[in-house]
Amino acid sequence: MNERVATLIGLLAVLLWATLAPLTVLAAGVPPFQLVAMSFVAATAIGLAYIALRRGAAEELRRATLPSILLGTTGLLGFHFLYFLSLSLAPPLEANLINYLWPLLIVLFSALLPNQSGGLRWHHIVGALIAFAGAVLVITKGEGIPVLSSSALSGYGIALLSALTWASYSVLSRMFANVPSSVVTIYCAVTALAAAFAHFQLETTSWPLTSLQWVAAAGLGLGPVGLAFYVWDHGCKHGDLRILGVSAYFAPLLSTVLLVIAGLADGSSVIWVAAIAITGGALLASKDMLTGRQGEAERAPAVQSEL
């Protein structure tokens, strides 16, 4: 499977993440860590079903290494823990803005990878910055970047740490290109157990009361907090990280559009401006792939770590 196909598979995660906000809103009332635990149980079930149905998939789990499991668990569990913690310590809007530095960080960190085709060029950085500007418009609703409160500095720091965690996990996954994405099942299982532990320690259990809440909770586990992590893992290991990073800014845009369509949020002209910025930035960053100039590195065997 070539780099272009792997990149397209990874982009499916962005489409799935776009449903995160609408489904979370519909599942309102379920405590955050409980919702994460429920979602990752479903995510684990996806991996187990794949392993059960695909011949030889169970053998793939033996190719998991301790470093790859530590990286995967730190990525999924660490990111979600830090993200929720940042929202509890800082205003959600500002924390979310800082957290959404992770796609830009992926683009920048990709320059450290010796096997990323073509290297990091000006249009990757400019495209990422333009797309980030579009994401800022979506998150702030065009009302300007809020002034960061000194009383919430710890929350901002943790939000930045969550962005660094996810960006690092995504880029470092490249070092384990020989570890199949079915191993994500292990990451999801560990994350589900840790989230359940945090829930029982910090929250009061509250199950969904309506069928719509149950459908939303199940949808989270099957989509944005389930299948998305498997296809993202594959894309990060075998696709173009720069394009994946920039294209990730479509998630908040598409999420906002879905909220508006579902009547869960008000629309505005800002969405269209943001759409132009994010689309333009993504196209600019994807120039090499769109024009077929993938560079010689794509034709070379991927560097695979035996860690």
Residue 67: per-residue pLDDT: 93
- Calculate the average pLDDT of the chain: 83
Higher pLDDT, 192 or 128: 192
Does an H or E element contain 297, and which? none
- Where does the pLDDT of residue 118 fall: very low under 50, low under 70, confident under 90, or very high at 90 and above? low
- Where does the pLDDT of residue 84 fall: very low under 50, low under 70, confident under 90, or very high at 90 and above? confident
pLDDT for 306 beyond 50: no
Question: C-alpha distances in angstroms, 244 versus 171, 251, 306?
Answer: 11, 11, 25
State the residue range of the domain holding 245. 3-292
Residue 69: per-residue pLDDT: 92
- Where does the pLDDT of residue 295 fall: very low under 50, low under 70, confident under 90, or very high at 90 and above? very low
Higher pLDDT, 151 or 128: 128
Across the range 286-300, mean pLDDT stands at 55
The answer to whether position 305 is within a domain reads: no
The answer to whether position 76 is within a domain reads: yes
Residue 42: CA count within 13 A, CB half-sphere: 20
As a whole-number percent, the residues of the chain with pLDDT over 90 amount to: 33
Residue 293: per-residue pLDDT: 57
pLDDT for 248 beyond 70: yes
Across the range 167-172, mean pLDDT stands at 93
Residue 290: per-residue pLDDT: 60
pLDDT for 46 beyond 50: yes
Q: How many independent structural domains does the chain possess?
A: 1
Does an H or E element contain 113, and which? none
Higher pLDDT, 193 or 148: 193
Across the range 228-235, mean pLDDT stands at 95
Pick the closest to residue 92 from 32, 164, 23, 30 (CA basis). 32
Angstrom distance (rounded) from CA 301 to CA 160? 34
Contact 126, 284 (CB under 8 A): yes
The answer to whether position 12 is within a domain reads: yes
Lowest-pLDDT choice from 50-59, 96-105, 227-236, 260-269: 260-269
Pick the closest to residue 167 from 238, 86, 261, 98 (CA basis). 98
The answer to whether position 131 is within a domain reads: yes
The answer to whether position 307 is within a domain reads: no
Across the range 216-245, mean pLDDT stands at 91
pLDDT for 122 beyond 50: yes
The answer to whether position 68 is within a domain reads: yes
The answer to whether position 8 is within a domain reads: yes
The answer to whether position 297 is within a domain reads: no
